Structure 1
Amino acid sequence: MNISRVFILASQPLFAEGVQSLLSGQPGIEVVGVAPADPGAFAQVQTATPDVVIIEAQGGEQSLLVAQVLKSIPSAKVVGLSLEDNRIHTYYQQSKQGHRVEDLLDTIREPVIPKSRSPKALRLFVLYQGHYGERILANIQNNAPRTWAVESWRAPSNLPPVVDDPLSFLPTHLPAADLVLSLGENGGAAQLLPGIVERTGARALIAPVDNVTWLPDGLIRQLRVWMAAIGVSAVFPKPFCSLTENCYNVRQQEIAFEDPWIGEFARQFGRPVLKIARDGEKITQIEVERDTACGCARFVARKLAGVDLREAVIQAGLFHHHYPCRATMRVDPGLDEPLIQAAGNFMRHAVEVEIVPLER
């Protein structure tokens, strides 16, 4: 019989004793060490070379410990116990499965079989709060590829500026997801994202910045650090319609990235891409190759049918403002222009790059 060597990291000594007592004498299981759930215990864990590491800790602390174990012992299975919702989370090679706590023995014994998922079958989880998020969610649901699965949750609109206990605001169970899209409308919603990423098992996060009061720079920096620590890719496109498969933001602030899940989303929604056909000097047909997440590109494409080529770029800007765009009208200190103007520039550029060759 193959023996599973188990190391226990627990924040509560009584819990560690209980788990050790449960596992002792079980066939196929050997407890090779017990230590407090803190970074100082990693030397003991590495020396013991366990097959399975059980971690009992709270929310973000547990996720950081999981990431450190997976980095230092890539071949190990990590079993995270969440006592607040009676769940087991099994981690290996950045994947996660859910079980009931009562299934702990079976969870330890089951072999590690990583599941390979294709980004084409994207599981998207959307957090939203109000009209801004509702419109984007509706456009994604109506126009996403049929291979996608789109789930959503409406966060409370009255979240406090500082959320002391984020997990208390979340549903106990959230659907599994590959990518989380945050469409919150205050800083409190952004503070729920670590818990949402943890409970959905997401591998990537998109948190657009269409209004800096909803997602301030300081909070973005905190989210970057937290997501990087647990191996989750995160992008913060400002404005949302600056996002492409490999970069986001405007001009000198552009940031490159590489992630298959975000890339799959950005092939469908983000920086607008159009294909324009003409008959003489008139636009006859426009194909939307990449829509803006809010649906503005499709709206502009419909309005431009029949417009004179020479007027198309100007009209595209006007139609963009008529939609209307939800990016803020306040001047962004980093861009020296309002985000709504930056968004309009992306729409005009999408038309201009198609019109210029047609006018030759």
Structure 2
Amino acid sequence: MKISIVTDGSYGERAHATIKEEFNCDYIMMDAPTSTFMDEIDLPSETLAQLENADIIITYTLHPDLTLDLVDALHDKVEWIIVGAWRGDGFKNQLEKYGNVTCPENMCDLSENGNPIFDEFVSKFGQPIVRVNCQGDKVVDVKVLRCSPCGSTRFVAEEMVGEPTETLPVRAGLRIQHYPCRAPKMRLFADDECKKELAANFHKKAFENALKKDNNAD
């Protein structure tokens, strides 16, 4: 499966570094438009041709007109488009009307939707899933089964080795906040703490579920 990440700024490089470990993944830089609003944006034909070869496109373009033009030009050429940077619920609704476009609140919020290609991607990246190996009341190993695209789940997993199981989910949720989440910066008027809390809750829940499975296995 082919994934293409397209950006007009500094976002997306961590996702590329993480995703390319599992899938064929391109990282495509575009020039950001110079004005805030533009009636027409020139999309380079060579860039469009490269993006058309993807099964899934992930956009981290911050300029809304550029994002909209990319989605409009490519939604019927690829299986799915994930918009990693969007501004406002109205814009989100406009993009998702294309049918094969999703605008997650956080990239670690992705989950299966029934599309085989999308679900293959989400089997590896999205809402975090971990497996915890314990000896007594201590964590001796954490395996990441599904990672957030930015790699934060792996960061937390490494930090949780040696931690007591009693407080593990809470500590995992707290630890994720030490990983510099960029989601709030990609939302206009976004609440930084709200976005961080979403990521923390996803990881807290992942470790809660992992401990339940570990206890059931015993």
Q: TM-score, normalized by length of structure 2?
A: 0.84
Matches within 5 A, 1:61-80: none
Q: Answer yes or no: is the 8 Å Cα contact 2:59–2:83 preserved in 1.
A: yes
Within 2, Cα distance between the matches of 1:357 and 1:262? 26
The match for 2:26 is 151
Matches within 5 A, 1:1-360: 122-141=1-20, 143-144=21-22, 148-166=23-41, 168-173=42-47, 174-175=49-50, 176-194=53-71, 196-197=73-74, 201-208=77-84, 214-225=86-97, 227-228=98-99, 233-246=100-113, 258-328=114-184, 330-331=190-191, 338-356=194-212, 358=214
Can you give the 5+ residue segments of structure 1 that lack an aligned partner in the other structure?
A: 1-121, 247-257
Using a 3 Å threshold, how does the CA distance of structure 1 residues 356 and 260 change in structure 2: closer, same or farther?
Answer: closer
Q: Which amino acid aligns with 2:92?
A: I
Count matched residues.
Answer: 209
Instruction: Report the structure number with the largest CA radius of gyration.
Output: 1
Q: Which amino acid aligns with 1:331?
A: D
Within 2, Cα distance between the matches of 1:244 and 1:191? 23
RMSD: 2.4
Using a 3 Å threshold, how does the CA distance of structure 1 residues 358 and 221 change in structure 2: closer, same or farther?
Answer: closer
Q: Answer yes or no: is the 8 Å Cα contact 2:4–2:27 preserved in 1.
A: yes
Within 2, Cα distance between the matches of 1:157 and 1:172? 16
CA displacement at 1:160 relative to structure 2:
3.1
Looking at both structures, which has the greater relative contact order when contacts are Cα pairs under 8 Å and sequence separation is at least 6?
2
CA displacement at 1:206 relative to structure 2:
1.1
Using a 3 Å threshold, how does the CA distance of structure 1 residues 283 and 236 change in structure 2: closer, same or farther?
Answer: same
Using a 3 Å threshold, how does the CA distance of structure 1 residues 159 and 125 change in structure 2: closer, same or farther?
Answer: farther
Q: Answer yes or no: is the 8 Å Cα contact 1:179–1:204 preserved in 2.
A: yes
Taking every aligned residue pair, what percent have the same amino acid on both sides? 26
Using a 3 Å threshold, how does the CA distance of structure 1 residues 322 and 264 change in structure 2: closer, same or farther?
Answer: same
Q: TM-score, normalized by length of structure 1?
A: 0.53
User: If each structure's strand is expressed as a fraction of its own residues, which one has the higher value?
Assistant: 1
Can you give the 5+ residue segments of structure 2 that lack an aligned partner in the other structure?
A: none
Give CA-to-partner distance per residue, 1:75-128, whole Å, 9 cap, x none: xxxxxxxxxxxxxxxxxxxxxxxxxxxxxxxxxxxxxxxxxxxxxxx1212112
CA displacement at 1:172 relative to structure 2:
3.3
Within 2, Cα distance between the matches of 1:357 and 1:267? 19
Runs of 4+ in 1 over 6 A off after TM superposition: none
